[in-house]
Amino acid sequence: MSPNEEREKKIIEKLLGIEDFKEIEVRVDDTDLMQVVHSNKYLNYFDDGFISFTQRLGKDCGTLHKEGIVFPVRKVEI
């Protein structure tokens, strides 16, 4: 196993071992007339959760990117 592959494996193991829960108060302007979050707002809430997850790593996204750790969004299905 190459040093890069070993590093990547360690990073993946660390990320998979992190659990995070983010409680977010729903904003009134994100809901429709039935007080349900409108579907065009879902990704904003996902982003809030992603920021919470990266904070659990103890580093911001800019620092992670400089270290070669990126989280590309490849596909989203809601």
Q: What is the pLDDT of residues 25-51, one digit of tens each?
A: 999 999 999 999 998 899 999 898 888
Q: What is the pLDDT, as a whole number, of residue 21?
A: 84
Q: What is the pLDDT, as a whole number, of residue 76?
A: 86
Tell me the C-alpha distance between 42 and 78, whole Å: 8
How confident is the model over 51-61, as a mean pLDDT? 84
Query: Within a 13 Å sphere around the CA of 5, how many CA atoms are in the beta-carbon half?
Result: 2
Owner of token pair 């596909």: 75
The domain spans of the chain are: 3-66
